[in-house]
């Protein structure tokens, strides 16, 4: 899928040594041994690390933020300008840092020439503050939601959700991360130096036209897969790490593509969190299948790596992020044996049960045979009542695909996948769950707030083309 012009660091070193050799020979010098150059010239581009948004409140119990939705420009490829959208910048947005218990106020200024919304994906908040299709922000207007953080430490994200244009707006650059911290995350001795050993990775596949503009192309099958991977908006990125444990907070921020992530040497790493926060204990993994909208946090242990270690993050067959290990030790952190206690959402025999049948044919999909209608409420749910949701992806139709099913306003738990208990990495809080053709996933869910919310496939073109429903919590 990815065309990579990947220059290996060995090749670069070879060229550097050869050029230095030629230079010294011309100077009449003899080089006795081709000494290892102190090579800071890495192939590719230093990965962009998003900024952390400043909390403008002096009171630790509240947080206030200002977000500007704006147009921008990036030079993803030297000499070619790409018109983009971003929050408080050219592309993507800053990390929004909040703590459990905080009351959060945000002012979202829409400086675009078109309406947008800002949805807080994964947040357990009221329908009014959720930022779905019913809260459009018109050009020049300001939206000021406020909500209280009442959920565990987690990596959530924010993105537009205007019905019909979510896909194109996200593709142009509108997305950012939210970090929730709490007493549990404070207490754990995890890597937490932002940008040093606690690193966000927003993965997005993209296509470009020859003039540098994004090529957002739909065909009968959906969105045309990108041939270029961006991580945090960087083409062909590398990141330097100390010889220490490094936590990667991974978001599949692409519109339509799943990724299968691995380390190039096949070594394993530990998954410590899923969408809604920490797992009970770290789970050893050697690959991650991550669908659009999902987050996974992992720890990769570089503590025995050296400057000679060659290691990259792979998406399928393609290296997408090169790691360079520095000659420095870093912090003394750990992969704790236990991370968090996850309170079980328990359902009873009399818990209401709903079925969601996912069907798709190429670009178009339905849920329970229906296409999205903003004026129709598909489900009515009681606040604080535990429910069982059965999500089925029927295999029957041609061109069927797997779907990441996402529910707003809550974090749910998986009871079973195809009749079996979920694997350990699916036993934490989730807000997006992949369901393959022929599969049935059963979740237990409860809504702590009231309002109107969405459930949908998080392949954004499926969502834009109607694979979404809405439910009212009262
Ligand atoms: Cu990430 Cu309905 O959204
Ligand atoms: Cu959401
Ligand atoms: Cu889908």
Report DSSP letters for 115-140, one per residue: -B--EEET----TTTS--TTS-B-TT
Phi, psi at 284, each rounded to 5°: -70, 130
Structure tokens at 331: 């912090």
Integer angstrom CA distances of residue 48 from 74, 195, 232, 395, 423: 12, 9, 6, 41, 33
% of the chain surpassing 90 pLDDT: 88
Q: Which residues pair with 82 in a beta bridge?
A: 74
Atom number in ligand 1 closest to CA 456: 2
pLDDT of 36: 43
Which domains does the chain carry?
1-338 (2.60.40.420), 353-473 (2.60.40.420)
Q: Is 324 exposed, middle or buried (0-12, 13-18, 19+ CB in 10 A)?
A: buried
Residue 174 has pLDDT above 90, yes or no: yes
Q: Taking the alpha carbons of 324, 327, 330, 333 in that order, is the dihedral positive or negative?
A: positive
Contacts of residue 312, defined as CB under 8 A and 6 or more positions apart, other chains included, come to 263, 264, 319, 320, 321, 322, 323
Q: Is the CB of 99 under 6 A from ligand 1?
A: no
pLDDT of 40: 58
Distance CA 193, CA 35 (A): 34
What's the mean pLDDT in 316-331? Answer: 96
Residue 24 has pLDDT above 60, yes or no: no
Q: Which residues of 404-417 are buried (b: 16+ CB within 10 A; e: fewer)?
A: bbbbbbbbbbbbeb
Q: Is the CB of 462 under 6 A from ligand 1?
A: no
Residue 132 has pLDDT above 70, yes or no: yes
Cβ 389 vs Cβ 442: under 8 Å = yes
Residue 241 has pLDDT above 90, yes or no: yes
Q: Which residues pair with 77 in a beta bridge?
A: 80
pLDDT of 223: 97
Report the side by side order of strands in the sheet with 295-301.
234-235, 228-231, 198-206, 245-252, 295-301, 269-274, 277-285
Atom number in ligand 1 closest to CA 122: 1
What's the mean pLDDT in 107-130? Answer: 98
What's the mean pLDDT in 195-219? Answer: 98
Q: Is the CB of 133 under 6 A from ligand 1?
A: no
pLDDT band at 37 (very low <50, low <70, confident <90, very high): very low
Q: Is 368 exposed, middle or buried (0-12, 13-18, 19+ CB in 10 A)?
A: middle
Distance CA 186, CA 400 (A): 44
Using one digit for the tens of pLDDT, what is the confidence trace for 75-85?
Answer: 999 999 999 99
- Half-sphere exposure for 34 (CA within 13 Å, toward CB): 12
pLDDT of 254: 98
Mean pLDDT for all residues in the chain: 92
pLDDT of 394: 84
pLDDT of 33: 39
Which helix (H) or strand (E) element contains residue 241? strand 237-241
Nearest residue CA, atom 1 of ligand 1? 121
**Environment of ion ligand 2 (residues, CB < 5 A):** 121, 408
pLDDT band at 155 (very low <50, low <70, confident <90, very high): very high
Q: Is the CB of 449 under 6 A from ligand 1?
A: no
pLDDT of 395: 77
pLDDT band at 398 (very low <50, low <70, confident <90, very high): low
Using one digit for the tens of pLDDT, what is the confidence trace for 328-350?
Answer: 999 999 999 999 999 999 998 89
**Environment of ion ligand 3 (residues, CB < 5 A):** 403, 457, 459, 462
Residue 283 has pLDDT above 70, yes or no: yes
pLDDT band at 432 (very low <50, low <70, confident <90, very high): very high
Cβ 282 vs Cβ 372: under 8 Å = no
Nearest to 264 by CA among 315, 227, 226: 315
444 C-beta neighbours (distance < 10 Å), count:
17
Residue 469 has pLDDT above 80, yes or no: yes
Nearest residue CA, atom 3 of ligand 1? 121
Distance CA 67, CA 60 (A): 20
pLDDT of 399: 64
Q: Which residues pair with 214 in a beta bridge?
A: 208
Q: Is the CB of 247 under 6 A from ligand 1?
A: no
Residue 214 DSSP code: B
CA 425 to the chain's CA centroid: 16
Q: Is the CB of 454 under 6 A from ligand 1?
A: yes
Instruction: Give 406 Cα–ligand 1 centroid separation in angstroms.
Output: 7
Distance CA 411, CA 164 (A): 25
Distance CA 448, CA 455 (A): 16
pLDDT of 207: 98
Select the more confidently predicted residue: 313 or 36.
313
pLDDT of 433: 98
Q: Report the chain's terminal Cα–Cα distance, integer Å.
A: 45
Atom number in ligand 1 closest to CA 159: 1
pLDDT band at 3 (very low <50, low <70, confident <90, very high): very low
Using one digit for the tens of pLDDT, what is the confidence trace for 121-130?
Answer: 999 999 999 9
Q: Is the CB of 121 under 6 A from ligand 1?
A: yes
Residue 58 has pLDDT above 70, yes or no: yes
What's the mean pLDDT in 149-164? Answer: 98
Residue 29 has pLDDT above 70, yes or no: no
Q: Is the CB of 295 under 6 A from ligand 1?
A: no
Structure tokens at 143: 């939206």
% of the chain surpassing 70 pLDDT: 91
């Amino acid at each position: 899928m990815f065309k990579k012009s990947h220059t290996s660091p060995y090749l670069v070193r070879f060229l550097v040594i050869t050029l230095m050799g030629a230079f010294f020979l011309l100077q009449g010098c003899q080089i006795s041994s081709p000494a290892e150059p102190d090579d800071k010239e890495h192939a590719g581009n230093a990965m962009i690390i998003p900024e952390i948004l400043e909390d403008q409140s002096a009171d630790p119990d509240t947080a206030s933020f200002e977000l500007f939705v704006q147009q921008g420009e990036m030079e993803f490829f030297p000499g070619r300008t790409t018109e983009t959208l971003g929050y408080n910048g050219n592309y993507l947005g800053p990390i929004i840092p909040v703590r459990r218990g905080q009351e959060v106020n945000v002012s979202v200024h829409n400086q675009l020439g078109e309406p947008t919304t800002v949805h807080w994906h994964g947040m357990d908040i009221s329908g009014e503050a959720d930022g779905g299709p019913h809260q459009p922000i018109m050009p020049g207007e300001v939206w000021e939601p406020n909500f209280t953080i009442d959920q565990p430490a987690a990596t959530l994200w924010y993105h537009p959700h205007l019905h019909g244009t979510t896909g194109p707006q996200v593709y142009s650059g509108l997305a950012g991360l939210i970090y929730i911290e709490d007493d549990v995350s404070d207490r754990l001795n995890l890597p937490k130096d932002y940008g040093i050993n606690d690193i966000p990775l927003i993965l997005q596949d993209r296509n470009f036209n020859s003039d540098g503009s994004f090529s957002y192309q739909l065909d009968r099958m959906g969105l045309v897969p990108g041939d270029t991977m961006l991580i945090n908006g960087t083409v062909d990125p590398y990141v330097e790490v100390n010889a220490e444990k490094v936590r990667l907070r991974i978001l599949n921020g692409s519109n339509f593509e799943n990724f299968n992530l691995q380390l190039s040497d096949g070594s394993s790493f530990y998954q410590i969190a899923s969408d809604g926060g920490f797992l009970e204990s770290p789970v050893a993994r050697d690959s991650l299948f991550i669908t659009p909208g999902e987050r996974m946090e992992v720890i990769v242990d570089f503590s025995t790596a050296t400057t000679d270690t060659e290691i990259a993050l792979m998406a399928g067959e393609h290296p997408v992020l090169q790691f360079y290990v520095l000659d420095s030790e870093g912090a003394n952190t750990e992969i704790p044996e236990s991370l968090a206690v996850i309170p079980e959402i328990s359902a009873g025999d009399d818990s209401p049960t709903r079925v969601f049948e996912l069907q798709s044919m190429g670009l178009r999909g339905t849920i329970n045979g229906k296409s999205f209608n903003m004026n129709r409420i598909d489900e009515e749910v009681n606040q604080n009542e535990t429910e069982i949701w059965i999500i089925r992806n029927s295999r029957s139709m041609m061109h069927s695909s797997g779907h990441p099913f996402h529910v707003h306003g809550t974090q749910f738990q998986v009871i079973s996948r195809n009749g079996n208990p979920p694997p350990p990495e699916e036993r934490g809080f989730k807000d997006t769950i992949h369901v393959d053709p022929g599969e049935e996933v059963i979740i237990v869910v409860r809504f702590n707030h009231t309002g109107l919310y969405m459930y949908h496939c998080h392949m954004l073109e499926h969502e834009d083309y109607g694979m979404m429903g809405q439910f009212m919590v009262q």
